[in-house]
């Protein structure tokens, strides 16, 4: 997760796929708990639900939309607003494109005066788990069961890629819906590799052999966004997931005792300790921001870069002509892996929600129905070289090397996509994992220390009765 664009699911990332409001910001939300519900006082009275108006939108009710104006801009959101205005010409739309959504929205949630739709993305975004615990988020179930706008015979939920609905589910209720589909992997320049005769590795043993050859050629094998070590957590946790399979992922997310001491995780930590110990990380990477590390990679100072699928959009104007970046699945750890080498970490990002206290909640959900229409998603993909969460949105499009490789990776993975949920559910644990991985790859702690340190944080979280727990 790039700290400004990711979702984290687990990016967003990056920081796509993931940071939350600090404890000092989140605490007032807990102290200002509101009654759960689809709307608070002053909500617009809904209209009758019909085939043409399945969510019961009041035609003249104002609509306020807040969108994170990051790497994707906000033109795609404005386009959906135009469609809303055509459908409801008497509705006035108040659009706000913001950089730090959490800082601007937190006081409004506390005051019980939130917008009707919020794109809760970017650095300092609101902690969804805190909002859920405070009863601040509306249920999107009726949106998901509403007819898709441009796919006859399908509900909205039927048009979404695998895992998108699950990503937004808390305690059995869907409270967020992610517009982009982020895939995490290892990035490289296809022409650069072809020029040097390097083949993308399928196993970790092949990776280490290739890294030795790359370093011998005078290039750093890897760099990473050192100020945000979660970037390196993505491939590390992917190695663990492939080794231990779904059972390992569930144990981590469910705060199962000793989950972080599972062999798959300790082996993955050992793999990355070895990568660092052999000197295969570019010197000085620890001090680099995401933009600095990615710029160095575009300058061919390093061969591999871990990142989510927003990378191409973020590197526009930075990557030189002919760089042709592509993404590969994280190599397999060994022959005993529970998931195939083609398995990829994938999850929704660019997280939209309708607050429980929205004045026009039906309009907020209707706006999302328009945003998640295939036509809207297709236009977004063309403009941003990013995979939307709507299945088939890129069919027939001429895709560049990056987005084409992401789509191919999702196709090759098939049912073997995976994601961890602990990042979304438990922000303090996510930070503990990030910090430990940063220490690991800078050779300040051992793999055993890494495991023990994170397990201690997970145990403390499990014992904390003030934190609502989730299971999968």
Per-residue pLDDT of 15-24, as tens digits, reads 333 333 333 3
Q: What is the pLDDT of residue 129?
A: 85
374, two tokens: 């295939």
Q: Read off the pLDDT of residues 304-319 as tens digits, 9 standing for 90 and up.
A: 999 998 898 889 889 9
Q: What is the pLDDT of residue 43?
A: 55
Distance CA 311, CA 289 (A): 14
Distance CA 342, CA 363 (A): 40
Give 220-243 as a DSSP string. EEE---TTSTHHHHHHHHHHHHHH
Q: Which of 306, 320, 326 is nearest to 403 (CA)?
A: 326
Percent above pLDDT 70 for the chain: 90
Compute the average pLDDT of residues 329-350: 92
Q: Read off the pLDDT of residues 106-139 as tens digits, 9 standing for 90 and up.
A: 999 999 999 999 999 887 789 888 899 899 999 9
Residue found under tokens 């000793």: 258
Average pLDDT, the chain: 89
Q: How many CB atoms lie within 10 A of CB 218?
A: 7
Domain boundaries 23-182+346-418, corresponding CATH code:
3.40.190.10
**Comparing 23-182+346-418 with 184-344, is the CATH topology the same?**
yes
Q: Read off the pLDDT of residues 230-242 as tens digits, 9 standing for 90 and up.
A: 999 999 999 999 9
Distance CA 405, CA 327 (A): 6
Task: Judge whether residue 42 has pLDDT over 80.
Answer: no
More confident: 440 or 171: 440
User: E strands along 215-374, which residues?
Assistant: 220-222, 302-308, 325-328, 344-353
Cα 289-349-165 angle, rounded to 5 deg: 155
More confident: 461 or 348: 461
Q: How confident is the model at residue 44 (pLDDT cuts 50, 70, 90)?
A: low
- Rounded to a whole number of angstroms, the CA Rg of the chain reads 22
Q: How confident is the model at residue 2 (pLDDT cuts 50, 70, 90)?
A: very low
Task: Judge whether residue 244 has pLDDT over 90.
Answer: yes
84 contacts 370 by C-beta, under 8 angstroms: yes
Q: Which of 358, 354, 352 is nearest to 62 (CA)?
A: 358
Distance CA 301, CA 291 (A): 14
Distance CA 163, CA 156 (A): 14
Compute the average pLDDT of residues 247-254: 98
Distance CA 260, CA 93 (A): 47
pTM of the full structure: 0.79
CA atoms within 13 A on the CB side of 135: 12
Q: Which of 92, 177, 178 is nearest to 143 (CA)?
A: 177
Q: Read off the pLDDT of residues 53-62 as tens digits, 9 standing for 90 and up.
A: 999 999 999 9
Domain regions of the chain by residue span: 23-182+346-418, 184-344
Angle (deg, nearest 10), helices 263-277 and 427-441: 40
Q: What is the pLDDT of residue 45?
A: 60
Give the C-alpha distances (Å, rounded to integers) separating 281 from 130, 215, 224, 276.
37, 10, 8, 6
Q: What is the pLDDT of residue 187?
A: 98
Q: Read off the pLDDT of residues 95-111 as tens digits, 9 standing for 90 and up.
A: 999 988 999 999 999 99
Say whether domain 184-344 belongs to CATH 3.40.1280.10. Answer: no
Task: Judge whether residue 70 has pLDDT over 90.
Answer: no
Q: How confident is the model at residue 4 (pLDDT cuts 50, 70, 90)?
A: very low
Q: How confident is the model at residue 32 (pLDDT cuts 50, 70, 90)?
A: very low
Q: What is the pLDDT of residue 451?
A: 98
């Amino acid at each position: 997760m790039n700290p400004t664009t990711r979702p984290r699911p687990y990016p967003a990332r990056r920081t796509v796929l993931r940071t939350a409001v600090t404890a000092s910001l989140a605490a007032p939300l807990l102290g200002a708990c509101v009654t759960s519900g689809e709307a608070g006082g002053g909500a617009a009275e809904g209209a009758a639900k019909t085939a043409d108006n399945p969510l019961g939108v009041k035609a003249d009710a104002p609509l306020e939309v807040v969108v994170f104006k990051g790497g994707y801009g906000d033109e795609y959101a404005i386009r959906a607003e135009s469609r809303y205005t055509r459908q409801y010409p008497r509705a006035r739309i108040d659009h706000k494109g913001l950089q730090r959504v959490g800082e601007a929205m937190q006081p409004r949630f506390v005051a019980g005066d939130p917008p009707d739709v919020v794109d809760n993305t970017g650095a300092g975004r609101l902690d969804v788990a805190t909002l859920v615990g405070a009863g601040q988020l509306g249920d999107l179930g009726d949106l998901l069961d509403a007819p898709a706008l441009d796919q006859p015979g399908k509900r909205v939920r039927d048009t979404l890629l695998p895992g998108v609905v699950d990503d937004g589910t808390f305690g059995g209720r869907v409270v967020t819906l992610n517009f982009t589909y982020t895939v995490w992997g290892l990035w490289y320049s296809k022409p650069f590799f072809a020029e040097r005769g390097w083949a993308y590795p399928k196993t970790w043993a092949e990776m280490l052999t290739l890294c030795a050859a790359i370093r011998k050629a005078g290039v750093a094998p890897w760099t990473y966004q050192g100020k945000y070590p979660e970037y390196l957590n993505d491939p590390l946790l992917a190695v663990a997931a492939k080794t231990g399979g779904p059972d390992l992922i569930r144990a981590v997310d469910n705060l199962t005792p000793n989950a972080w001491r599972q062999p798959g995780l300790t082996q993955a930590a050992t793999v990355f300790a070895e990568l660092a110990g052999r000197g295969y990380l570019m010197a000085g990477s620890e001090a680099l921001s995401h933009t600095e590390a990615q710029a160095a990679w575009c300058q061919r100072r390093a061969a591999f870069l871990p990142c989510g699928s927003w990378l191409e959009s973020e590197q526009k104007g930075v990557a030189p002509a002919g760089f042709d970046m592509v993404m590969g699945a994280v190599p397999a750890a060994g022959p005993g892996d529970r998931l195939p080498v083609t398995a990829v970490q994938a999850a929704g990002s660019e997280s939209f929600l309708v607050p429980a206290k929205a004045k026009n909640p039906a309009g907020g959900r209707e706006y999302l129905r328009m945003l998640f229409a295939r036509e809207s998603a297709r236009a977004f993909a063309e403009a941003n070289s990013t995979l939307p969460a709507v299945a088939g949105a890129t069919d027939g499009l001429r895709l560049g090397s990056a987005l084409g490789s992401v789509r191919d990776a999702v196709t090759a993975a098939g049912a073997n996509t995976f994601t961890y949920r602990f990042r979304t559910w438990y922000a303090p644990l996510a930070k503990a994992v990030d910090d430990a991985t940063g220490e690991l790859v800078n050779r300040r702690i051992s793999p055993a220390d890494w495991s023990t340190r994170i397990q201690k944080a997970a145990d403390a979280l499990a014992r904390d009765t003030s934190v609502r727990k989730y299971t999968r």
